[in-house]
Amino acid sequence: MLNLSVILLSVLLQIAAAMVALRVQRSARWPFAWILVSISLVLMAARGLYVLVAFLERDLPEHLMPNEVLGLVISALIFTGVLLIKGIFQSKEAQAARMEEAHSGARAEADKLAAVMAAAPLPIWIAEDPACRTIHGNASGAALLRMSERSNHSMSAPVEKRPSHFKLVQGGMELPAEGMPMQRAAMAGEEVRDQPMDLVFQDGETRHVMAYATPLRDRGGLIHGAVCCFVDVTEIRGAEEALAKAQKMESLGMMAGGLAHDFNNIFQSMLGNLELAEASVPEDSRGQVYLQRLKAGLERASRLSRDILHCSGGDLRRPEPMELTPLIAEALDRTGVPVVRDLAPDLPRIMVDPILIGRVVEGLAANAQEANSPQGVIRARTYARRLTQADLGTGHWPDPVAPGTYAVLEISDQGHGIDAAVLPKIFDPFFSTRNIGRGLGLAVALGIARGHRGGIQVESLPGVGSVFRVYLPS
């Protein structure tokens, strides 16, 4: 009976080991090898069954029983080994499943981040290493820097790979790579908020930005990169400057208008008394000479008062529907300034005060003559142009104006030009770069254009010359 139990248990262990081996081959890297192991175990079990049948038919010799006991031990060892290997494979399979789940989660997070980067209207960059040698941005960031999305946007990259067509400036000084917001966040762990900077390109364009940056940390708290975004505030700065300028011009205009009206009332009273004094003094009296000098001084003062009034955009007395070209030709004739003329006929009619438009022509022509070089040429053009909202974003438009068709007077010179630092101030009342003059010529021209609901654009290059364009709505 003991012999029968030994053989039967050995057969069962071999069959069980074969079944376990078959299960292992499903997840093993070499399933064919495990199939061979299973077949070998099945054959061993078949041999054991053969011995068992033989034992039942006739008793086996006693000297064979130790062999069967040894076979039982081997079967037990094989079964135990297969179970251990199965556990290892199951552990690796579970680990592989966890890794695949982690990879899937990472891919999902990466896809979410890519979707956020692509959809975000703000320029965003991500540093992929703490040294910020590799930085990539979204479409908005690439467009702001004038680069492709796939290129490396890092200023900390090797010299031959870093961008060179722009620089970041703060307080008039170029920022070194380690002082940039992304690098400060990644290298020093700083949280950068509301850092104003200027993005200056080689072609001279400047974009005003506010920078924000934060470090990226792993679960252990170690920094492995950073995220940075820029807010382009160029248009906001321009709107703020335009609003401040409009408010300044409005304040100056109100003050100038009030002063001019008060002075005019005083001058009219003085002029009336002066004329009465002239009538009461004999014509051959020496007092007439002094009265004439006083009268000339009052007329100059009255003209200055009117100029101040024109700076405020007032005194539009007699607007009439007229063509611009005949007015310009007549005004140029009065100035006596040598001008090359290109005056277009049949321009759309405009509502103008002809006397005031003449003052504009006289002021611009005199300004061009004073600024022109000895060999330079002064040119005067008239033409019609349809302005869009984008065109109205540049130039001097003291009042809100609507897009549409405008008659244009253009006067250009080939003089020394106007420096960029001076250009924004040229229309300020009493501002002048010359030792002589009141500094009211351009201020008067802009005030008159304002009174006609028009505007003036200026282009100037130092050493090349200037172009003034006066726009009057049809």
pLDDT at residue 288 in the model: 84
DSSP SS3 for 146: coil
Which whole number is the average pLDDT over 357-362? 88
pLDDT at residue 294 in the model: 87
Return the closest-CA partner of residue 135 out of 153, 150, 120, 151. Answer: 153
Q: Which long-range contacts (CB under 8 A, 24 or more apart) does 249-255 make?
A: 249/398, 252/311, 252/312, 252/429, 253/311, 253/312, 253/313, 253/314, 253/447, 254/312
The Cα 92–Cα 409 span in angstroms is: 84
The Cα 278–Cα 295 span in angstroms is: 10
Is pLDDT at 412 greater than 60 in this prediction? Answer: yes
Q: 117-131 pLDDT, tens per residue? A: 776 778 989 888 888
**Adjacent-strand bridge partners of 227:** 126, 214
14-18, 27-31, 231-235, 425-429: segment of lowest average pLDDT: 27-31
pLDDT at residue 468 in the model: 93
Q: 17-50 pLDDT, tens per residue? A: 667 666 665 555 556 555 666 666 666 667 666 6
pLDDT band at 410 (very low <50, low <70, confident <90, very high): very high
pTM: 0.50
Which tokens belong to 34? 């495990």
pLDDT band at 343 (very low <50, low <70, confident <90, very high): very high
Query: How many residues in total does the chain contain?
Result: 474
